[in-house]
Amino acid sequence: MAQKVAVLGAGLTKFMRRAKETGKELSFEAARMALEEANMDISEIDCVVMATAPDMFDGVHMKGDWLSDGAGAKRKPYMRSYVGGGSGVFAIIHGWYLVASGLFDTCLVVAEEKMSSTMPHPQGAFNAIYDQFLERPLGVNLLWIFSLEMMRYMHVHKIPLETIALVSVKNKKNGLDHPCTQKGIAGNYTVKDVLNSEVIAYPVHRLMVSPVTDAAAAIVITSEHEAKRRTDKPIWIEGVGWCLDTSYWTNRDLYYPKYVEYAARMAYEMAGIKDPRKEIHVVEPYDPFAYKELHHLEGLLLADKGEAPKLLEKGFWDRDTKDGIPSCPSGGLLGVGNPIAAAGLMKVIEIYLQLKGEAGKRQVRREVKRGLAQAWGDLMQVGTVVILSK
């Protein structure tokens, strides 16, 4: 049966637009930091896992192979898993099963993204994720379909745009305290500021969208006996879940992310969680767009359908809440930046730091024993969930 798996160290590079470092160098930086924190040498790593989103960004075919030496994988077992935007959180799931299976004792999990190489803008590359015949000729990009999804979500639950803007206000404020935050992303904004920002694809406003970012993140995970040998306070991976819905996104009702619910249920079952609203103490749902955080909180069963916006208005998801569940205490993608795969792993690292009590100014006020990170991707199609505990 599965051996227990622990997180021993984490590394995160500064988030920025137009990093001078190559993707390999970013991977190296994050990997080095994670190994340092775990007090390990690369020679003690049995296998390396890489997460990185579309090869189109870098214009490099077999991007996983290309990044491998930067991630320290030379002459090592190495795999790249890939579920679009969900890849960052999937990376720890990937590492988890390689270690939990007993095949390996130690695994270095690296997530890298260098989006700014795509000129003039990565949204152009995203046209290539659509169906070649039916959708691509329309010239669609992600902003367009997410404006459709946002509209549907707002319509079904009658959510005012002002409430969605509150997510940006919360996360961009939280992001001020994150040492890796991308320049110009975090800030003390008001709902008015958000609604006065440029409309990109109605109802999506500029301040409701995460930016283009370059960065890398890494964690070291080990089996139980390695963890116990190396640290007194390991953080455990208690549950993982992932789920992929049909390719035909036009045939689904977009108001609710069922695939996130299924992924969450898988993770809750594995972690033995019966009542997630009581047993999850801090959460990092994926927030590339403001409405997605609320959408995902409902998919994660942390709020009833349509209730997440109301709880937001009451401060239930705030970082300093006493009886709520702090959501995106890191600042999330809206407050720190969105280097796609690295952003997912950044969320996992935030939960890891919160559980260790080492999140500094971002440390949530309530006591935390268990936290959840989630990412999402593809054609509004995949959910990836991990639950960590002390």
Partner 1 sequence: MNVYIIGIGLSAPKKISPEVSFREMIYEAAEKAYLDAGIEPKDVDTFVSVSEDYEEGTAIFDEYVPDQLGAVLKPVHTICADGITGLASVFAQIKTGHFKIGVIEAHSKLSNIKHHFHVHAMALDPVYVRPLEVNPYFVAGLEMGMFLDSRGYDELDTAQVVAKNKANALLFGRSPFGSFISPEEVLLSQPVSDPLRELDIAPNADGACVIVVATEEIAKERRGDLIKIAGIGFAEFTPNIERWEGDADYLRVAAQKAYSMAGIRNPLNDVDFAEIDDTFSYKELQHLEAIGLARFGESADLMREGFYDLSGQLPVNTTGGNIGNGNLSLMNGLRAVYDAVLQLRGDAGNVQLENPETALIASWKGLPSSSGGVLILRREG
Interface positions with partner 1 (CB under 8 A): 1-2, 22, 48, 53-56, 58-69, 73-84, 90, 94, 97-98, 100-103, 125-126, 128-129, 131-132, 241-248, 258-259, 262-263, 266, 270, 377-379, 381-382
For residues 60 and 46, what is the distance between their CA atoms, to the nearest angstrom?
A: 27
**Closest listed residue to residue 24, CA positions, set 62, 55, 70:** 70
Contact present, 97 and 242 (Cβ < 8 Å): no
Nearer to partner 1, 263 or 348 (CB): 263
CA 128 to chain centre: 22
Cβ 330 to partner 1, closest distance in Å? Answer: 25
Cβ 181 to partner 1, closest distance in Å? Answer: 27
Cβ 142 to partner 1, closest distance in Å? Answer: 11
For residues 192 and 209, what is the distance between their CA atoms, to the nearest angstrom?
A: 16
* Amino acid identity, position 375: A
Nearer to partner 1, 73 or 387 (CB): 73
Give the number of other Cβ atoms within 10 Å of residue 1's Cβ: 4
Contact present, 390 and 206 (Cβ < 8 Å): no
Q: Which residues does 186 contact at the CB level (< 8 Å), separation at least 6?
A: 172, 173, 174, 175, 176, 178, 331, 335, 336
Q: Which residues does 28 contact at the CB level (< 8 Å), separation at least 6?
A: 70, 71, 72
Furthest-apart CA atoms within the chain: distance in Å = 57
- Using DSSP's 3-state secondary structure scheme, residue 381 falls into coil
Cβ 191 to partner 1, closest distance in Å? Answer: 33
For residues 319 and 38, what is the distance between their CA atoms, to the nearest angstrom?
A: 27
Nearer to partner 1, 141 or 163 (CB): 141
Nearer to partner 1, 66 or 356 (CB): 66
Q: What Å distances lie between residue 280 and 276, 295, 326, 386, CA to CA?
A: 5, 17, 10, 11
- Token representation of residue 200: 């990109």
Handedness of CA 36, 39, 44, 45 (dihedral sign): negative
Nearer to partner 1, 208 or 237 (CB): 237
Nearer to partner 1, 90 or 189 (CB): 90
Nearer to partner 1, 33 or 260 (CB): 260
Nearer to partner 1, 75 or 322 (CB): 75
Cβ 240 to partner 1, closest distance in Å? Answer: 9
Give the number of other Cβ atoms within 10 Å of residue 322's Cβ: 8
Contact present, 27 and 71 (Cβ < 8 Å): yes
Nearer to partner 1, 79 or 148 (CB): 79
Cβ 286 to partner 1, closest distance in Å? Answer: 15
Phi then psi for 124, rounded to 5 degrees?
A: -65, -40
